[in-house]
Amino acid sequence: MPRTVAPTVWAFDCAWVPDADAGRRLLALDASEPEVFDAMWRAAGATPEQPRPVLPPVHCRVAAIAVVERRAYPSGEVGLHLCSLPRDPGDAEADLLAAFFGALGRCRPQLVGFNAHGADVRLLAQRGLVLGLAAPGLCRRPERPWEGPDYFHPHDDWSVDLMQAVGGRGAACPSLRDLALLAGIPAKTSGGGSCSGGDPGPSPGQAVADLWLAGEHETIRHYTECDALTIYLLWLRTARFAGLFSASELAEEEGRVETLLEREADRGAHHLRTFLERWRVLDA
CA distance 212 to 192: 11
Positive or negative torsion for Cα 45, 46, 48, 53: positive
Give the pLDDT score at 89.
84
Give the pLDDT score at 114.
94
Render pLDDT for 230-264 as a digit per residue (tens, 0 to 9): 999 999 999 999 999 999 999 999 999 999 999 99
CA distance 71 to 236: 14
Around Cβ 102, how many Cβ atoms within 10 Å? 15
Q: Between residues 34 and 198, which one has the greater pLDDT?
A: 34
Around Cβ 258, how many Cβ atoms within 10 Å? 13
CA distance 148 to 8: 13
Query: In sequence order, what are the residues at sequence separation of 6 or more whose Cβ sits closer than 8 angstroms to the Cβ of residue 265?
Result: 272, 273, 276
CA distance 268 to 223: 15
Distance of CA 92 to the CA centre of its chain: 19
| pTM of the full structure | 0.92
Pairing of β 60-72 and β 110-113:
unpaired
Amino acid at site 284: A
Poorest-confidence range of 119-133, 150-164, 200-214, 244-258? 200-214
CA distance 105 to 149: 10
Q: Quick one: which H or E segment has residue 78?
A: strand 78-85
Determine phi and psi for 106, rounding to 5 degrees.
Answer: -75, -40
Determine phi and psi for 134, rounding to 5 degrees.
Answer: -110, 135
Does the pLDDT value for residue 195 go beyond 80? Answer: no
Positive or negative torsion for Cα 158, 161, 162, 167: negative
Give the pLDDT score at 199.
32
User: Contact, 264 vs 22, CB < 8 A?
Assistant: no
pLDDT level of residue 192 (50, 70, 90 thresholds): very low
Q: Which residues are registered as beta bridge partners of 13?
A: 66
Give the pLDDT score at 194.
37
246 by DSSP, 3-state: which?
Answer: coil
